[in-house]
């Protein structure tokens, strides 16, 4: 076991030990807030690339039909 794994296991054991004997509602209230792994800026860029391309394709097909 590496030192990094040992520290992680100790941290986990400490966290689990603090939960013992407490009601489920008290444990759930302490959970950390969810943090998205991707920033909103990158989500916006990705959405623009995917849906923007789709929008431009639909516009191109509509104007091609009228020509």
Tens digits of residue pLDDT in 6-26: 999 999 999 888 878 777 766
- What is the overall mean pLDDT for the chain? 84
The pTM score is 0.39
String of b and e for 21-32 (b: at least 16 CB within 10 Å)?
eeeeeeeeeeee
Structural domain of 18: 3-27+35-66
Q: In whole angstroms, give the CA distance from residue 17 to residue 8.
A: 14
Question: Percentage of the chain with pLDDT > 90?
Answer: 30
The total number of structural domains that make up the chain: 1
């Amino acid at each position: 076991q590496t030192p990094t794994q040992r520290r992680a296991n100790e941290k986990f054991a400490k966290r689990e030990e603090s939960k013992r004997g407490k009601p489920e509602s008290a444990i759930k209230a302490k959970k950390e807030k969810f943090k998205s792994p991707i920033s909103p800026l990158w989500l916006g860029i990705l959405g623009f690339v995917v849906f923007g391309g789709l929008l431009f394709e639909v516009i191109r097909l509509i104007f091609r039909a009228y020509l």
